[in-house]
Amino acid sequence: MSSEKLTWNVDATGLRVAVVVARFNYEITSRLLAGALAALKQAGAADADIKVVHVPGAFELPVAAKALAASFDAVVALGAVVRGDTPHFDYVAGEAARGIQQASLETLKPIAFGVLTTETMQQALERAGGTSTKTDAGDLTLNKGFDAANTAIEMAHLLNGIRSKA
């Protein structure tokens, strides 16, 4: 039995990555998108290897992510679901999570979950880079879009490594 270790790798050079972002709560999701794009650029992704697709809301993320996974090494799914006074939050957040996981499992492609599920808009803003205006993404150490893009890159390398060793 081999004990070869697959290591953490966030080098996006040569990877094709799609980012699917919900328009609903766009003041938050636009910051998540800026964070994801910043991560991809920092990791060496070429502009030609990045595709951004917008969907109406978080509920629509899974189907778009699954379609994109057919042509890309990894997908980053970004959205923001903020609790309101109705049970709508529970349905949308849960189904978005389930659908994204199902799409990833069915395609065997990494689809990083960058969907915020918060109680308030303030909490969502904090997880989308905070109130810092350093960049459109805010403070990248607080931006979950940045984290999701790095997760997508890492998982693309991990899965490619597993496939090449099989």
Give the confidence band of 166 by pLDDT, cuts at 50, 70, 90: low
- Please indicate whether residue 157 is annotated as part of the active site: no
Q: Which of 13, 63, 88, 134 is catalytic?
A: 88
The whole-number average pLDDT for the span 100-121 is 97
With 70 as the cut, is the pLDDT of residue 3 above it?
no
The model's pLDDT over 63-106, given as tens digits with 9 standing for 90+, comes to: 999 999 999 999 999 999 999 877 888 899 999 999 999 999 99
pLDDT for the residue numbered 84: 83
With 70 as the cut, is the pLDDT of residue 133 above it?
no
Cα distances (Å, whole numbers) of residue 83 to 88, 99, 110, 121, 162: 8, 19, 27, 9, 39
